[in-house]
A and B are shown apart, each in its own frame.
Chain A
Amino acid sequence: DAKTTQPNSMESNEEEPVHLPCNHSTISGTDYIHWYRQLPSQGPEYVIHGLTSNVNNRMASLAIAEDRKSSTLILHRATLRDAAVYYCILRGMDSNYQLIWGAGTKLIIKP
């Protein structure tokens, strides 16, 4: 699975949108972009995934660059509960079973 690069941490104000970036310049054409998050003292939680088109679900939106070398996870209205470490992970069509975790982005929400 290709490598991803994320900022170590980001801060945002409560009830404002948050844009979490991820760079994956070596992504292959069949790699899916997945996002997970880990709230403090909890297990990781799936957030969203996509291939080429932008995706929306009840938790977040995923914006994928046209060249697919970067993506952005968008939390439309952050709450204190969204404070977590967010991980961007690539999954190939013939990927291994394991998820390969980086350090992620620690999102701090200010009240």
Chain B
Amino acid sequence: EPEVTQTPSHQVTQMGQEVILRCVPISNHLYFYWYRQILGQKVEFLVSFYNNEISEKSEIFDDQFSVERPDGSNFTLKIRSTKLEDSAMYFCASSEVGGLGTDTQYFGPGTRLTVL
């Protein structure tokens, strides 16, 4: 069964450093998403991406964050200057369709980001 993969599984970085989290969505999916979950809290939406453009973003997704689909298979989330409060699990998801009642999002296993 096709699945979303994410690398690395765990990333440790120093405050102020740049990090890039990588995701390989399911191959025939066209919509891509990043969510995050701070330990013990709810899952929070960051951004959705379609046709090489951001289609929706949350207030969390400020200028420190960017997303890119550098090739036909990868989808990345970059945090330019990490803060302590960026420590969280980051989940990538993809879906065949988006913005409809029937769209189903498939999630990767997550990357645990620890900012020291």
Chain A residues with a Cβ under 8 A of chain B = 30-32, 34, 38, 42-46, 49, 51, 91-103
Of the candidates A32, A49, A101, which one forms a contact with B43 in the assembled complex, judged by CB atoms under 8 Å apart? A101
Given A42-B110, A46-B106: A98 and B100 interface contact (C-beta under 8 Å): no
What is the CA–CA distance of A31 and B104 in the complex, to the nearest angstrom? 14
Q: Report the minimum CB–CB distance from A31 to chain B (whole Å).
A: 7
CB pair B56–A95 under 8 Å, yes or no, is no
Q: How large is the interface on B (under 10, 10 to 19, 20 to 34, 35 or more residues)?
A: 20 to 34
Of B56, B101, B106, the contact of A97 (CB 8 Å cutoff): B56
Q: Which of B31, B50, B103, B108 contacts A43 (CB 8 A)?
A: B108
Which of the listed residues B31, B35, B43, B98 has the most CB atoms from chain A within 10 Å of its own CB?
Answer: B43
B56 contacts which chain A residues (CB < 8 A)?
Answer: 96-98
B33 at the interface (CB under 8 A from A): yes
